[in-house]
Every structure is written in structure tokens, then in C-alpha cells.
Amino acid sequence: MGARQPTAADSLESGARQLRYAMEQSATLEQAFQMLYAAADQRQHAALRQLEHLLRSPEPPDALRENVKFSSYPVLAWLLRQTSAPEKSAAAVFREYRRHESFSAAARVAVRSEFAGFLTYLGAVLAVLIVVVCMYGLFILPQFRSLYGGFGRELPTLTGLVFGGGAPLFTLLLLSAFGLIIFLCWFVYLLRRQLRRYVALSAGYERIPLVGPVAVAYHQYLWLSYAGLLRAGGIQAADALRLAATRVPVSSVARWGTSAAATGREPQAGGSTFADLSMAERLGKLDDETQFQQEASVDTFLTALARCRRRARIVLTLCVYYLVATFVSAMYLPIFSLGSAF
């Protein structure tokens, strides 16, 4: 078995830890980085350059912009800027960030495995059904109409309904099912991308049936995860929660210490978590409760994801199988009815 390859978070944490050592022997940050570049080998220079840019600039330089386009660079830069001494707290922040990186990798695999199988199967079934229905309507149905019309008879009722007066309704159902599959595929892709970038989804996803609970759980995880990194950087729990709340949709979490306190109301989403945190703050145990809720939010997100998959699979399976049974019956009924009709 090969040795475990270091992740980006591992490299950044290592560089930040070495920077802390260098700062003890240097008067300025520039001198500390000069010492690091002199002591590091070529493989470590890339991580040191990224660390230096994270500490100096909220935006990546042009040379790194393409490489970090879909990474968590902007969020990490923002988190470091909130701390009083980024160069000293970077090691602790990146050590905490490794937890998210580990969860993100596992969550992206879980998202793909939860949805890829049944979406691919049902999408293929619907695609084949659409092609068959179009070919039947263009080439075969006119022949049956001519045959039945030559004997002064009408097509069977179901065939006439599906391909006649009821065609718009069944076409709408067919396209709606296909559209739902496409939307779920897009949501899976978007969620995996946002997990990798460590940023929130749009607030509108929280109001969409099926995927809304997943978006709410993901935003609650982000809120508590951001707060965990800020706490690791030396910020008090209450301030960390307040700052972290500015990076996620308003509907997911209250603005800690501002809007919630002013209105006396708790957010509709994650109200239990907010109530527990508020009680822990009054008891002087906010740090412990924040840590507990951060760990619990991982299970909440994965549970919401599994529940979404089960519900989406039931809805789509029933819809697709109903459409397949209806269209296949309507297409074969003229053949089965020939003997009794004539």
C-alpha cells in the first residue's frame, strides 16, 4: 500500500507551522518568509507561495488564479483576515480546516453515490421512452389511423387519449419527469462543487421541495464550520458565530447577536440548534456547545442527503414507471384490438 499523499490542507498547515517557528526568529513577516524559502526544498515552495498570498491578499495572484478558481482560497483568505494575527493563527486555522477537507472529500463521494445510480437509470429509461414515443407518433401511429379509418373505426380509447386529446397532458408529464431528473443532476453537481469550494448555495435552494432540507443542513454545517475555524484563530465563540453567519444565507441562521436578539425570534431553519447555542451561551458553555453542534451538523447533513435521495427516488420511480406503462399500453393496444375490432 502506497504512502498517503498530503492534501492541500496538510501542506498549508505544515507551512503555517514552520512560519510560526520562523516568526520567533524574525522581526517581520517578510524576513520570516525569506527564511522559509531558504530552508524549504522545491516541493514545498508551492505551498509556501500559496500561504504567503493567503496572508497578504484576499484575491489570488494572476499566476495562481486559474489553479484556485474552484478552490476554497477566497474563504480561507477571508477567515484569516478576521483574526488579529493571521501569521500566528494560520497553523491552527489550517489544522481545523483539515477536518472540513476530510469531510468534504467523503461528502462528495456520498453525494455522487446516493444519486448517480438511480438518476442514470431513470434518465436512460426516460430518454429511450421519449425517442420511442416520437418515432411511434411520426411513423407508426399514422398507419394505424389509416387502417382503422379504412374500416370506419376509431383507435382504442387509451391510444386516442394519449396520442390525441390528452397528448399535451402526457407530454407535460413526460417532460416534467425529465426536467426533474435534469434538475437533480444539476443540484448534485452544484453541491459537490460548493463543497469543494467551501461556499454556500443560493438561498433559493432552501425553498425548493426535495432539495430544500439538504440546502438548509449544508448551510448550517458551513455556519458552524466557519465558526470552528474562527475559534481556532483565537476569536471568541459568540463573535465567531456572528462573523460566520455573514457568509451563509440569512434564512439558514440568524445573525448571531443582532437580528435574533432584536426580534426575539429564532430562525425557522435550525431553530433547535440556535436555541441550544443560546442556552449554552447563557450558561457560559458556548465553546463546548459550538463544538458539539459542529460535529452534529455533519450527521444532520448526511441524514438530509439520504432522505432527499429516498424521496426523490420514490417520486421519480413512480412517475417514470407510470409513464412507461401508459405509453407502452397505448402503443400496443391498436395491435391487440385488431381481432375484436374487425
- Render pLDDT for 300-311 as a digit per residue (tens, 0 to 9): 999 999 999 999
Asked whether residue 199 carries a pLDDT value surpassing 90, the answer given is yes
Domain contains 63:
no
Asked whether residue 34 carries a pLDDT value surpassing 90, the answer given is no
* Across 314-331, average pLDDT: 95
* Across 75-97, average pLDDT: 88
Distance CA(227)–CA(229), nearest Å, equals 5
Q: pLDDT-based confidence at 135, cuts 50/70/90?
A: very high
Domain contains 80:
no
Q: Helices (DSSP H) in the chain: which residue ranges?
A: 8-23, 29-39, 42-56, 62-65, 73-82, 86-135, 141-150, 157-160, 167-197, 212-232, 237-245, 259-263, 271-282, 286-336, 338-341
Domain contains 48:
no
> 324 by DSSP, 3-state: which?
helix
If you average pLDDT over every residue of the chain, what do you get?
85
The number of distinct structural domains making up the chain is: 1
Domain contains 191:
yes
Distance CA(241)–CA(255), nearest Å, equals 8
Domain that holds residue 307: 102-341
Asked whether residue 217 carries a pLDDT value surpassing 80, the answer given is yes
pTM of the model: 0.84
CB 218 within 8 A of CB 252: no
Domain contains 146:
yes
Chain-centre distance for alpha carbon 102: 15
pLDDT score at 104 = 92
Domain contains 62:
no
Going by C-beta distance under 8 Å and a sequence separation of 6 or more, which residues neighbour residue 280?
A: 286, 288, 289, 290
The alpha carbon dihedral of 255, 258, 259, 260 has a sign of: positive
pLDDT score at 6 = 59
Going by C-beta distance under 8 Å and a sequence separation of 6 or more, which residues neighbour residue 11?
A: 44, 46, 47
- What letter represents residue 328's amino acid? V
Q: pLDDT-based confidence at 333, cuts 50/70/90?
A: very high
Domain contains 334:
yes
Distance CA(301)–CA(277), nearest Å, equals 18
Highest-scoring range by mean pLDDT, 46-50, 151-155, 217-221? 217-221
**Residues 240-281: pLDDT tens digits?**
999 999 999 866 565 555 544 433 444 444 568 888 998 999
Q: pLDDT-based confidence at 179, cuts 50/70/90?
A: very high
Asked whether residue 223 carries a pLDDT value surpassing 90, the answer given is yes
pLDDT score at 253 = 61
Domain contains 53:
no
Phi, psi torsion values for 114, nearest 5 degrees:
-65, -35
Q: pLDDT-based confidence at 90, cuts 50/70/90?
A: confident
Highest-scoring range by mean pLDDT, 75-89, 106-120, 262-276? 106-120
